[in-house]
Chains A and B, each alone.
Chain A
Amino acid sequence: NAGVTQTPKFQVLKTGQSMTLQCAQDMNHNSMYWYRQDPGMGLRLIYYSASEGTTDKGEVPNGYNVSRLNKREFSLRLESAAPSQTSVYFCASRSGQGGLHGNEQFFGPGTRLTVL
Protein backbone atom coordinates (compact mmCIF):
# COMPACT_ATOMS: atom_id res chain seq x y z
CA ASN A 1 0.00 0.00 0.00
CA ALA A 2 1.25 3.48 -0.87
CA GLY A 3 -0.84 5.10 1.89
CA VAL A 4 -1.50 8.77 1.13
CA THR A 5 0.21 10.23 -1.93
CA GLN A 6 0.42 13.89 -2.94
CA THR A 7 1.49 15.59 -6.13
CA PRO A 8 3.40 17.70 -6.82
CA LYS A 9 6.06 17.69 -4.08
CA PHE A 10 7.20 21.24 -4.88
CA GLN A 11 5.61 24.10 -6.80
CA VAL A 12 6.44 27.74 -7.44
CA LEU A 13 3.64 30.00 -8.66
CA LYS A 14 3.34 33.63 -9.55
CA THR A 15 0.66 35.74 -7.93
CA GLY A 16 -2.65 35.19 -9.70
CA GLN A 17 -1.81 31.80 -11.18
CA SER A 18 -3.97 28.80 -10.43
CA MET A 19 -3.11 25.23 -9.63
CA THR A 20 -4.56 22.01 -8.25
CA LEU A 21 -2.91 19.88 -5.60
CA GLN A 22 -3.72 16.21 -5.92
CA CYS A 23 -4.17 13.70 -3.10
CA ALA A 24 -5.02 10.01 -3.23
CA GLN A 25 -5.28 7.27 -0.61
CA ASP A 26 -5.47 3.53 -1.11
CA MET A 27 -6.69 2.56 2.37
CA ASN A 28 -10.42 2.74 1.60
CA HIS A 29 -10.78 5.58 4.11
CA ASN A 30 -13.99 7.54 4.35
CA SER A 31 -12.63 10.90 5.49
CA MET A 32 -10.01 13.08 3.85
CA TYR A 33 -8.47 16.41 4.88
CA TRP A 34 -6.39 19.28 3.56
CA TYR A 35 -4.17 21.22 5.97
CA ARG A 36 -1.65 23.97 5.61
CA GLN A 37 1.40 24.31 7.83
CA ASP A 38 3.24 27.61 8.08
CA PRO A 39 6.81 27.76 9.45
CA GLY A 40 7.03 26.92 13.14
CA MET A 41 3.33 26.34 13.44
CA GLY A 42 0.87 23.52 13.66
CA LEU A 43 -1.59 22.41 11.03
CA ARG A 44 -4.63 24.44 10.14
CA LEU A 45 -7.55 22.73 8.47
CA ILE A 46 -8.52 24.16 5.09
CA TYR A 47 -11.29 21.78 3.96
CA TYR A 48 -12.34 18.27 4.74
CA SER A 49 -14.55 15.56 3.34
CA ALA A 50 -16.19 13.33 5.92
CA SER A 51 -17.33 10.91 3.25
CA GLU A 52 -17.48 10.58 -0.51
CA GLY A 53 -19.77 13.24 -1.93
CA THR A 54 -19.47 15.69 0.96
CA THR A 55 -17.07 18.56 1.65
CA ASP A 56 -16.97 21.13 4.43
CA LYS A 57 -14.97 24.22 5.27
CA GLY A 58 -12.31 24.08 7.92
CA GLU A 59 -10.59 26.87 9.80
CA VAL A 60 -8.96 28.68 6.83
CA PRO A 61 -10.97 27.98 3.62
CA ASN A 62 -10.72 31.38 1.92
CA GLY A 63 -8.92 31.27 -1.42
CA TYR A 64 -9.31 27.51 -1.82
CA ASN A 65 -11.75 25.05 -3.33
CA VAL A 66 -11.86 21.26 -3.07
CA SER A 67 -13.28 18.32 -4.96
CA ARG A 68 -13.85 14.83 -3.58
CA LEU A 69 -13.55 13.15 -6.95
CA ASN A 70 -14.24 9.67 -5.60
CA LYS A 71 -13.50 7.78 -2.41
CA ARG A 72 -9.76 7.70 -3.19
CA GLU A 73 -9.08 11.22 -4.39
CA PHE A 74 -9.43 14.67 -2.82
CA SER A 75 -8.01 17.67 -4.67
CA LEU A 76 -7.32 21.22 -3.49
CA ARG A 77 -7.48 24.11 -5.95
CA LEU A 78 -6.02 27.58 -5.67
CA GLU A 79 -7.89 29.73 -8.20
CA SER A 80 -5.75 32.85 -7.90
CA ALA A 81 -2.65 32.27 -5.82
CA ALA A 82 -1.46 34.91 -3.35
CA PRO A 83 1.86 35.18 -1.46
CA SER A 84 -0.06 34.52 1.78
CA GLN A 85 -0.74 31.02 0.46
CA THR A 86 2.96 30.16 0.55
CA SER A 87 3.00 27.16 2.84
CA VAL A 88 3.38 23.41 3.07
CA TYR A 89 0.15 21.60 2.27
CA PHE A 90 -0.66 18.21 3.76
CA CYS A 91 -3.39 15.83 2.80
CA ALA A 92 -4.58 13.26 5.32
CA SER A 93 -7.14 10.49 5.51
CA ARG A 94 -8.93 8.64 8.27
CA SER A 95 -10.99 5.51 8.16
CA GLY A 96 -13.70 6.96 10.39
CA GLN A 97 -15.11 3.45 10.72
CA GLY A 98 -14.56 3.05 14.44
CA GLY A 99 -12.38 0.32 15.86
CA LEU A 100 -8.92 0.64 17.27
CA HIS A 101 -7.50 2.83 14.52
CA GLY A 102 -10.64 4.54 13.28
CA ASN A 103 -9.58 7.99 14.50
CA GLU A 104 -5.96 7.85 13.40
CA GLN A 105 -5.06 10.20 10.58
CA PHE A 106 -2.56 9.15 7.93
CA PHE A 107 -0.63 11.95 6.29
CA GLY A 108 0.92 12.42 2.89
CA PRO A 109 4.47 13.76 2.48
CA GLY A 110 3.32 17.31 1.74
CA THR A 111 3.50 19.82 -1.10
CA ARG A 112 5.80 22.79 -0.63
CA LEU A 113 4.21 25.76 -2.39
CA THR A 114 5.83 29.13 -2.92
CA VAL A 115 3.83 32.02 -4.36
CA LEU A 116 5.95 34.90 -5.64
Chain B
Amino acid sequence: SQQGEEDPQALSIQEGENATMNCSYKTSINNLQWYRQNSGRGLVHLILIRSNEREKHSGRLRVTLDTSKKSSSLLITASRAADTASYFCATQVTNAGKSTFGDGTTLTVKP
Protein backbone atom coordinates (compact mmCIF):
# COMPACT_ATOMS: atom_id res chain seq x y z
CA SER B 1 0.00 0.00 0.00
CA GLN B 2 1.11 3.58 -0.56
CA GLN B 3 3.11 5.13 2.26
CA GLY B 4 1.99 8.65 1.40
CA GLU B 5 -1.54 9.75 0.66
CA GLU B 6 -2.34 13.24 -0.54
CA ASP B 7 -5.51 15.18 -0.14
CA PRO B 8 -7.39 16.65 -1.73
CA GLN B 9 -7.19 14.54 -4.89
CA ALA B 10 -8.05 17.62 -6.93
CA LEU B 11 -7.97 21.34 -6.19
CA SER B 12 -9.15 24.21 -8.37
CA ILE B 13 -8.40 27.82 -7.46
CA GLN B 14 -8.14 31.27 -9.02
CA GLU B 15 -4.82 32.85 -9.87
CA GLY B 16 -3.46 34.77 -6.90
CA GLU B 17 -5.04 32.49 -4.30
CA ASN B 18 -3.04 30.15 -2.08
CA ALA B 19 -3.11 26.39 -2.59
CA THR B 20 -2.64 23.91 0.24
CA MET B 21 -2.07 20.20 -0.24
CA ASN B 22 -1.66 17.63 2.48
CA CYS B 23 0.21 14.35 2.71
CA SER B 24 -0.21 11.67 5.35
CA TYR B 25 2.06 8.69 5.82
CA LYS B 26 2.10 5.56 7.93
CA THR B 27 5.58 4.81 9.26
CA SER B 28 8.44 6.84 10.70
CA ILE B 29 10.49 8.55 8.02
CA ASN B 30 13.93 10.01 7.44
CA ASN B 31 12.63 12.70 5.08
CA LEU B 32 9.68 13.72 2.96
CA GLN B 33 9.90 15.27 -0.47
CA TRP B 34 7.46 17.07 -2.72
CA TYR B 35 7.53 16.70 -6.48
CA ARG B 36 5.66 18.38 -9.30
CA GLN B 37 4.53 16.76 -12.54
CA ASN B 38 3.29 18.73 -15.51
CA SER B 39 0.95 16.87 -17.83
CA GLY B 40 2.79 14.32 -19.92
CA ARG B 41 6.15 14.97 -18.26
CA GLY B 42 8.41 13.43 -15.65
CA LEU B 43 8.47 14.52 -12.02
CA VAL B 44 10.53 17.47 -10.85
CA HIS B 45 11.83 17.76 -7.30
CA LEU B 46 10.53 20.79 -5.40
CA ILE B 47 11.64 20.56 -1.79
CA LEU B 48 12.85 18.11 0.86
CA ILE B 49 12.14 18.32 4.58
CA ARG B 50 13.95 16.10 7.06
CA SER B 51 12.32 14.43 10.05
CA ASN B 52 14.01 16.83 12.47
CA GLU B 53 12.68 19.89 10.63
CA ARG B 54 9.25 21.42 11.05
CA GLU B 55 9.09 23.98 8.26
CA LYS B 56 10.98 24.90 5.10
CA HIS B 57 10.57 27.60 2.52
CA SER B 58 11.59 27.85 -1.10
CA GLY B 59 10.36 30.86 -3.02
CA ARG B 60 6.54 30.69 -3.00
CA LEU B 61 6.57 27.20 -1.48
CA ARG B 62 6.19 26.47 2.21
CA VAL B 63 6.35 22.92 3.53
CA THR B 64 5.54 21.82 7.06
CA LEU B 65 6.09 18.46 8.69
CA ASP B 66 4.36 17.14 11.79
CA THR B 67 5.96 13.82 12.69
CA SER B 68 3.59 13.27 15.61
CA LYS B 69 0.65 13.30 13.20
CA LYS B 70 2.66 11.73 10.37
CA SER B 71 1.59 14.48 8.01
CA SER B 72 3.01 17.21 5.81
CA SER B 73 1.53 20.12 3.94
CA LEU B 74 2.64 22.02 0.86
CA LEU B 75 1.50 25.61 0.54
CA ILE B 76 1.88 27.48 -2.73
CA THR B 77 1.31 31.19 -2.21
CA ALA B 78 0.06 33.66 -4.82
CA SER B 79 -0.59 30.88 -7.30
CA ARG B 80 -0.14 31.33 -11.04
CA ALA B 81 -1.68 29.54 -14.00
CA ALA B 82 1.77 28.00 -14.59
CA ASP B 83 1.47 26.21 -11.22
CA THR B 84 -1.18 23.95 -12.77
CA ALA B 85 0.23 20.44 -12.33
CA SER B 86 0.04 17.35 -10.17
CA TYR B 87 1.92 17.40 -6.89
CA PHE B 88 3.23 14.29 -5.18
CA CYS B 89 4.74 13.64 -1.79
CA ALA B 90 7.38 10.95 -1.41
CA THR B 91 8.74 9.50 1.81
CA GLN B 92 12.07 7.91 2.57
CA VAL B 93 12.27 5.66 5.58
CA THR B 94 16.07 5.66 5.64
CA ASN B 95 18.51 8.20 4.26
CA ALA B 96 19.77 5.82 1.59
CA GLY B 97 16.53 3.98 1.01
CA LYS B 98 13.99 4.02 -1.76
CA SER B 99 11.14 6.52 -1.87
CA THR B 100 7.43 5.76 -1.74
CA PHE B 101 5.08 8.09 -3.61
CA GLY B 102 1.48 9.04 -2.93
CA ASP B 103 -1.22 9.30 -5.57
CA GLY B 104 -0.92 13.06 -5.89
CA THR B 105 -3.04 16.19 -5.85
CA THR B 106 -4.03 17.68 -9.19
CA LEU B 107 -3.97 21.47 -8.94
CA THR B 108 -5.70 23.67 -11.49
CA VAL B 109 -5.07 27.41 -11.29
CA LYS B 110 -7.53 29.41 -13.37
CA PRO B 111 -6.29 32.67 -14.92
Task: Let me know if A40 is at the binding interface, CB within 8 A.
Answer: yes
Interface mask (A35-65 → B, CB under 8 Å = 1, otherwise 0) = 1000011111100101000000011000000
Nearest CB in chain A: distance from B95 CB, A: 7
**Nearest chain A CB to B100 CB, angstrom units:** 7
Q: How does the 8 Å CB contact mask read for A60-74 relative to B, with 1 for contact and 0 for none?
A: 000000000000000
Count contacts on B: residues with CB < 8 A to the other chain.
24
Stretch of B14-22, B36-44, B57-65, B75-83 on the interface side: B36-44
Given contacts A103-B92, A104-B48, contact A45 B42 (CB under 8 A): no
B interface with A by C-beta (< 8 Å): 2, 4, 31, 33, 35, 40-45, 48, 88, 90, 92, 95-96, 98-104
A-B contact pairs, 14 of them (CB 8 A): A41-B103, A42-B2, A42-B101, A42-B104, A43-B43, A44-B101, A90-B42, A92-B42, A96-B96, A103-B33, A104-B48, A105-B33, A105-B45, A110-B42
